[in-house]
Chain A
Amino acid sequence: MLPDIAISLEQIDIIYRARAQAVGGARDSGPARAGDYHAVSQATLAVHEGEFVSIVGPTGCGKSTLLNAAAGLLQPANGDVSIFGKPLEGLNAQAGYLFQQDALMPWKTALENVAIGLEVAGIDTATAREKAEHWLAQVGLKGFGARYPHQLSGGQRKRVGLAQVLIRNPAILLMDEPFGPLDAQTRQIMGNLLLSLWAQERKAVLFVTHDLEEAIALSDRVVIMSSGPGATIIGDYTIDLARPRDAMDVRLDPGFHAIHKAIWDQLRGEVMKAYQEVEA
């Protein structure tokens, strides 16, 4: 029997309105009007419990948009978002979200940033800080708790962000090109860190990236999005490479190359389409 479906996106349409909503504006639904940008069209995707799924697609195709719909940060114009079988209303409280941009509160230390997720849930400060110390150690930042975000490197800030999300023990992890701004070596190290943390407690992960190699190295499944506008999911590949994996070494595996070739043959066409659209 298959495990339960953690995230279900069904026939999702996402439209960016050209005309700004009036003060205190209405719900963002209804058909597209002239000038609106139809970002995602009829996208359907399911992520099972304990499954690591990556979305790969050309730049600007709407990958992050789809992820935000799963987070409840934006409302699809049409379609259903369900979390563990229940329709999503408002923000997805069962999900942790790791952002591409710096999203730490700059006025809080690393420790305070990690502890805050527990504190706002009503856990007392001492316990929250103690747990935060533990999670900082888990992401390899033992002793960095007193630093402010600006005193940390980009990679270290991502580690704090990861601890900040994981300390709340969310059932679902949503990740929006989390390692995008980092250099190549740091990305692979962060990939391994993520895999080792994920192996301890398998959560449903939806991971957005434009880096196909990263997607294959980390995931159980890789789905491909077409280029926008009206982007949708056009490919779904199971990655049956053995776990536990090493995000660096797995790239030398012959199986890795076969999968990479198969996916790239499809993805290349979409990337070229997106590229030509930008050029035109």
Chain B
Amino acid sequence: MSVSKHTLLALQILVAVVALGIWHIGSSVPIFGVYFLPKFFFSTPWDVAARIVKLFSGTLIWKHLGITLTETLLAFVIGAGGGVLVGFWFARRPLVNAVFDPYVKMANALPRVVLAPIFMLWLGLGIWSKVALGVTLVFFIVFFNVYQGVKEVSQAVLSNARMLGMTEKQLFRHVYWPSALSWMFSSLHTSVGFALVGAVVGEYLGSAAGLGYMIHEAEGVFDTTGVFAGMVILAAFVLLVDAIVTAIEHRLLVWRPDAAGRNA
């Protein structure tokens, strides 16, 4: 398969045009007197586009985006920080790991959505109940990856570092830490994504601000256009966050053959 960059882009745009075209025709052009995609349930591409433009000409949308972004970042930082610490601790202390193993598995098996009401009860309707939900999602991803990263340091690299005279502290800094970080960053896309899921789901279930709240509010009054507009903004937001993560990853993991992207 060899397609030039331009052809690929043209094909990708074509998919969007076809999908939008079907949506437009189904919702605006009656075929044999019937709308295949009734406006009430599906809105129309033009209405959604107009709504997005209108939203961004106001100031409220920035507040919603700001709240969701704040929740996502807090959930990621707290969850990842906790995951790194506990991951290291468990990996270096087999006894601790052995004792806590069933409980970790149990906590991870629990669908996190059921925790949302509890967090709201404990932390209120503000941003912290959403952050808490995001943390429970991010923590386990980072924890498992860091644990794996510390456990699976190449035995040869470790023995070599020891023979080079490294103390336990230096091993931590020069061997375990970079290895664990590389595993953590390989899960960065997933964990940032989950932080966002936690934030939006939390907002959706009960809040007064954020993208999830915006979508929920529109849904409450059967404002399909509002729901679709919210979804498009959310998708664009995720793409943007993902692009930033990719950029960070490329900077921090230059030493990795696959992440570097050059000399591959």
Residues of A within 8 A of B (CB): 23-24, 71, 73, 91-93, 95-97, 99-109, 116-117, 120-121, 148-151, 164-165, 168
Contact = CB atoms under 8 A, between A and B. Distances in A.
Contact of A107 (B159, B165, B178): B178
B163 A105 contact: no
Interface stretch (B190-198, B220-228, B250-258): B250-258
A150 B255 CA distance: 7
Q: How large is the interface on B (under 10, 10 to 19, 20 to 34, 35 or more residues)?
A: 20 to 34
Contact of A120 (B170, B178, B179, B257): B170
Contacts of A164: 160, 164
Contacts of A101: 154, 156
Contacts of B15: none
B163 A91 contact: yes
4 closest A-B pairs (Cβ-Cβ)?
A: A103-B160, A101-B156, A107-B178, A103-B156
Contacts of A151: 263
B263 to A, nearest CB: 6
Contacts of B94: 23-24
Nearest to B157: A103
A92 B159 CA distance: 12
Contacts of B161: 105
Contacts, number: 74
B220 to A, nearest CB: 50
Contacts of B260: 148, 150
Contact of A99 (B159, B178, B256, B263): B159
A252 B7 CA distance: 61
Given A91-B162, A97-B163, A148 B156 contact: no
Contact of B165 (A73, A120, A148, A149): A120
Contacts of B63: none
Most chain A beta carbons < 10 A, residue from B174, B182, B255 = B255
Contacts of B154: 101-103
B108 interface: no
- Chain A residues touching B, majority SS: loop
B98 interface: yes
B95 interface: yes
A123 to B, nearest CB: 11
B167 interface: yes
A23 B95 contact: yes
Contact of B164 (A107, A150, A168): A168
Contact of B157 (A97, A105, A150): A105
B175 interface: yes
B73 interface: no
Interface string B164-205: 111100100011001100100000000000000000000000
Given A100-B156, A121-B165, A165-B164, 16 more contacts: A23-B98, A24-B94, A73-B159, A96-B163, A97-B159, A97-B160, A103-B157, A103-B159, A103-B160, A104-B157, A105-B174, A107-B179, A108-B255, A148-B254, A151-B263, A164-B160
